[in-house]
Structure 1
Amino acid sequence: MRIRPPHTPLRSLTLAALATTTVLLTTTACDGRAASSSSATSVLSLAIMGTPNSFAPAQLTEGQQAYVWSSLYDTLLLVDNDGKLQPGAAQSWTYSDGGRTLTLKLRKGMKFSSGSPVTAAAVKATLDLVRTSGQNQTQLGAVQSIGAPDDRTVVLRLRHADASLLHALTGAGGVVADPRTMTTRSSALNPVSSGPYTLDKDATVNGSVYVLKRRDDYWNRKAYPFPTVKIKVISDRAASVNALKAGEINAGSVEVQQLSSLKSAGFTTKHIEAGSVATLLLFDRKGEVLKPLGDVRVRKAINMAFDREKMVRLFLKGSGKQTEQLYHPLGEGYDPALDTTYPYDPAGAKKLLTEAGYPDGFSVNMPSLYFTKPFEPTFSQSLADIGVKVTWDPVPAQQTISALATRKYPMALVVDGLDPIPVQTRDYFSPNGYRNVFASTDPRLTQLLLRANSAPDAAKAVDVYKEIDAFTVNNAWTAPVFYIGVNWVTKKGIVFQGDGSSTQNSLRQFGLADQAGG
């Protein structure tokens, strides 16, 4: 069948907010085990919520869509099943010049699906395209220039050290494309592959199903035990469950209420405690639009307004976890002790508001987004109980990104997929982070961010990230409420190999039951 041009969806982190109202496919990466050609399980079939917007390397969208494009494109680095950085197309990497020069050494013998060699020049061309155009430029924002001194060496020179860069190179910021075709129209529909699979053009119907065929000449073929992968677009949660029961797909994530019937139908289940986080973001920390938010006592009062344990029971049926911090609970820097900073205490919250000069509370407008609607009555009541009156402004789905990116709203409720801690730190707390809409800064936090960026290996910067975590929690920079869990189900013979440590969306998370590992 002919591939039809794709439509344009919302960005990945907004799509992650569908966790409580749609099928959330939060995934983890895994190093491979030897593939078995004699295995009866030759096809992996799963569902994603929306059509990939494009396969052009500068237009790739993180989130569920990465199931398709991360199978077509190799990336310079990978993230394993434990959330650790591993070699990808680059077999090694080294920092020098105080973290401002990153040198990558490519593997020998890699080829595109066209038969052309993967060279440093091709990598440089792709990185230059991504950092200067499209929607992923910020991932490579610290890169000043890129060199390719020989066929296997790529050198990134940075304006400043950036701890999130290595993680960017595991995803859309680090794809490897064919420079001869990457800007042509065909790249948006059926790109030349550098990854483990090619798109079966005849069997693929854009917006409906994407059929992938494994490449026998891919360097990491053993990490992908399924010769054929079918990824279906199923936007309705109930329809996805029905597809699992009917055998149309053999892996997916479901609500906790569905687990019993699927177990009875022969599916194996696995619970991931945290795939995304629901947070009331307090953007206006200087009180520029909403004066009360400029007072830390007000922000602390807001944190004390929520009965987080009750919300987990009400919204998630126990398939989640309460939290008062943004960091991934399995990542470097997460501190369980911080989750007792703001006990549910409406009376104490009112007292803080009175001390701050707002005994009668105040009013605030917040955007009503397609993914916040189920939560809005409870959040409104919780805030009203301490004197904060919320008016929800309806926002069309196609305007979600722009509504959150402007300074119109001093507060907003979001549900974001969890990322590695260096990435979350950049996105939420750095002056140019996309979730730091008002570009809030603080001298103490600025110093902590500099220290974190000077240690690109997050495992060696645990103490710094813990300090950042403590600063942002104790100063109520945000009001996180709960993590949303994921319940994975897989048909007999297939296993989901992750534990939630990694948030990568990759087919490497799935394996055969007799080869499980990662």
Structure 2
Amino acid sequence: MRSKLSKTLATRIRVGALAALTVFALSACSGPSAGSPEPGSPSVKNFSLAIQTPISSMEPANLNDGQAAYVWSAIYDTLLFVDHNGEVQPNGAKKWEYDPDKTRLTLVIRDDMKFSDGQPVTVADVVATLERSRTAKGLQAPALSAVASVTATDDKTVVLQLSRPDPVLLIALSQGAGAIAPAKALDNKDIVANPIGSGPYVLDKATVPGSSYVLTRRDDYWNLGAFPFPKLTFRVIADPTAQFNALQAGELTAGQLQPQQVAPMEAKGLKVTRLAGQAHLTMLLLDKKGELVPALADERVRKAINMAFDREGIVKAILQGAGKPTVQIFNPDSKEYNEKLEGYYKYDVQGAKNLLAEAGYKDGFSVTMPSTPYSTTFEPTVTQALGDIGIKVSWEPVPPQNTGAAIAGKKFPMVLYIDALPAAQKMIGTYYGPNAYTNPFRYTDPELEKLVAATATADEAERVELSKKIAAFATEHALNAPIAYMGGTIATDPGVEFVDPKSAMGSNVRQYEQAK
């Protein structure tokens, strides 16, 4: 990458780069706001949204917390949920309590939940689902890695005994790790495509797996007032232009816009919400132990990679200003954001080359990265930037539904990734914990482990300071190469309101309410 991105390159990829945000702007629980129309009233509308990839599984142990959560979180209750302020709230568990050491979590389960087959939800179902997700070696197992056992102490209480304090366990229980299914259904292979849950919706027979998912609201749901839409439709539309066309045609009630599309949609009467920071673009340096690419075990090499990116040029030329250069991943609007770190890595091709030479890689080296829906439009920029310092990049196509496996499967040493900006506790668990999803090679450092462990028992003020220290450690030791915060614009039908400006809730239909 030159000091200024070439005009041709920037023009060629900027539209696709902005469109990539569709994956995240529409991802991420609160009760209905005062003044919202009552379910069933004439003004209530159905809700429709595009998702980029088909859903690979609705089995609790293999739930994906990305866009697939729009569908499964409407079918399953989770034990807890996160509201649009990023605060953990009761849900399937009406209250919870840690012991003083935070190694024993007690959950009191609601007694008014029913599965869609009419059977009541029992503590036995909660225990069985958590045990399956914990032990099945599926996508949710890492989120429950600190849980040593799950037991029911009476007909309302479930106790999770932990092997160590886990600062992100409550967040995990608001996501796929906290989903509740009938114990008797867990061994049924049909659960992958035809789940039974206690959530507010059920799959409608109009569903075409891999193409569209239609959900009908249950009238007997315990928290019906929080879900005003009688029917939900999630269409699988991978192409961002096709998504925009569907929104423009009135086939979707919400969607992501590129800058040049805002004025036409406002003229059409759609409501436009601008989000300053909703995702981060980061080069994940997965192989920090050097198992696939020995060079990545050297901190000097990882620092050189950070110096290869012209972050300001990427934001200006490719994101058209809809973002902010960064070297960290905590939400810039959060208390945990460490402003002092910005600018830590300057764009310096020669300096990066010098570091590579100092580490013994004067002639560079080669890496293979997965080509995913997140990376495609950025690949020319990344290839050029790393090529300029001597790192040759090859891209291996990966199907959209296998993006998670591309990160967790230890096949690739590096991955270009876009992720949302949830609460700092969740970010710590995802990126810096010993069993983090983005740490498949299980890189460890005593200082980092100590900082992460301390967040589990710290009060809020202490946790904020610890988070800033974690961000500083990650930056100074080049654990990854964050590039930019990405903003976006969401358009909604006049009858629908987007109520999650911080994108704190994850992929959940409760990001949307009926317009007041």
Specify the TM-score bucket, using the shorter chain as the normaliser: 0.7 to 0.9
Which residue of structure 2 aligns with residue 166 of structure 1?
Answer: 170
Which residue of structure 2 aligns with residue 345 of structure 1?
Answer: 348
User: Aligned partners of 1:189, 1:285: CA distance in 2, in Å?
Assistant: 37
Tell which deviates more after alignment, 255-264 or 277-286: 277-286
1:403–1:488 distance in 2 versus 1, CA, 3 Å = closer
Which of 103, 106, 127 in structure 2 is aligned with 1:103?
A: 106
Which residue of structure 2 aligns with residue 217 of structure 1?
Answer: 220
- 8 Å Cα contact 1:283-1:436 kept in structure 2: yes
1:335-365 deviation per Cα after TM superposition (whole angstroms, max 9, x unaligned): 122122112233443454455565x452232
Which residue of structure 2 aligns with residue 262 of structure 1?
Answer: 265
Structure 2 length-normalised TM: 0.88
Tell which deviates more after alignment, 260-269 or 347-356: 347-356
User: Aligned partners of 1:181, 1:368: CA distance in 2, in Å?
Assistant: 35
1:284–1:460 distance in 2 versus 1, CA, 3 Å = same
1:215-265 deviation per Cα after TM superposition (whole angstroms, max 9, x unaligned): 233222221111222222222222211111111111122322222211111
User: Aligned partners of 1:293, 1:58: CA distance in 2, in Å?
Assistant: 32
1:135–1:383 distance in 2 versus 1, CA, 3 Å = closer
Which of 238, 243, 248 in structure 1 is aligned with 2:241?
A: 238
Which residue of structure 2 aligns with residue 13 of structure 1?
Answer: none
Tell which deviates more after alignment, 429-438 or 281-290: 281-290
User: Aligned partners of 1:248, 1:76: CA distance in 2, in Å?
Assistant: 33
How many residues are paired up?
494
- 8 Å Cα contact 2:48-2:233 kept in structure 1: yes
Which residue of structure 1 aligns with residue 27 of structure 2?
Answer: 27
User: Aligned partners of 1:57, 1:184: CA distance in 2, in Å?
Assistant: 12
Tell which deviates more after alignment, 461-470 or 415-424: 415-424
User: For residues 51-450 of structure 1, what are the structure 2 equivalents within 5 Å?
Assistant: 51-133=54-136, 134-201=138-205, 203-285=206-288, 290-353=293-356, 356=359, 360=362, 362-371=364-373, 372-385=375-388, 387-397=389-399, 404-405=407-408, 409-450=412-453
Structure 1: gaps spanning 5 or more residues: 1-16
Structure 1 length-normalised TM: 0.87
Tell which deviates more after alignment, 371-380 or 408-417: 408-417
- 8 Å Cα contact 1:332-1:458 kept in structure 2: no
1:428–1:216 distance in 2 versus 1, CA, 3 Å = same
User: Aligned partners of 2:500, 2:103: CA distance in 1, in Å?
Assistant: 33
Aligned-pair distance for 1:67?
1.0
User: Aligned partners of 1:220, 1:330: CA distance in 2, in Å?
Assistant: 31
User: Aligned partners of 1:352, 1:492: CA distance in 2, in Å?
Assistant: 54
Tell which deviates more after alignment, 224-233 or 155-164: 224-233
- 8 Å Cα contact 1:131-1:137 kept in structure 2: yes
Letter in 1 for 2:478: A
Aligned-pair distance for 1:373?
3.4
1:85-108 deviation per Cα after TM superposition (whole angstroms, max 9, x unaligned): 111111111101511100011223
User: Aligned partners of 1:76, 1:401: CA distance in 2, in Å?
Assistant: 24
Which residue of structure 2 aligns with residue 466 of structure 1?
Answer: 468
- 8 Å Cα contact 1:332-1:465 kept in structure 2: no
Aligned-pair distance for 1:145?
0.8
- 8 Å Cα contact 2:166-2:456 kept in structure 1: yes
User: Aligned partners of 2:383, 2:124: CA distance in 1, in Å?
Assistant: 54
1:126–1:19 distance in 2 versus 1, CA, 3 Å = farther
Aligned-pair distance for 1:61?
1.8
User: Aligned partners of 2:252, 2:471: CA distance in 1, in Å?
Assistant: 40
SS of 1:206 mapped into structure 2: coil
User: Aligned partners of 2:37, 2:50: CA distance in 1, in Å?
Assistant: 23
SS of 1:375 mapped into structure 2: helix
- 8 Å Cα contact 2:21-2:488 kept in structure 1: no
SS of 1:67 mapped into structure 2: helix
Aligned-pair distance for 1:483?
2.3
- 8 Å Cα contact 1:23-1:236 kept in structure 2: no
1:335–1:379 distance in 2 versus 1, CA, 3 Å = same
Which residue of structure 1 aligns with residue 514 of structure 2?
Answer: 512
User: Aligned partners of 2:57, 2:291: CA distance in 1, in Å?
Assistant: 38
1:35–1:110 distance in 2 versus 1, CA, 3 Å = farther
1:147–1:403 distance in 2 versus 1, CA, 3 Å = closer
User: Aligned partners of 1:230, 1:439: CA distance in 2, in Å?
Assistant: 39
Structure 2: gaps spanning 5 or more residues: 1-15
Tell which deviates more after alignment, 266-275 or 29-38: 29-38
User: Aligned partners of 1:273, 1:86: CA distance in 2, in Å?
Assistant: 25
1:91–1:377 distance in 2 versus 1, CA, 3 Å = same
SS of 1:259 mapped into structure 2: helix
- 8 Å Cα contact 1:301-1:352 kept in structure 2: yes
Aligned-pair distance for 1:286?
5.0
> RMSD across aligned C-alpha pairs, in angstroms?
2.6
Aligned-pair distance for 1:382?
2.4
1:114–1:291 distance in 2 versus 1, CA, 3 Å = closer
Aligned-pair distance for 1:458?
6.0
1:492-516 deviation per Cα after TM superposition (whole angstroms, max 9, x unaligned): 12110111240411111111121xx
SS of 2:114 mapped into structure 1: coil
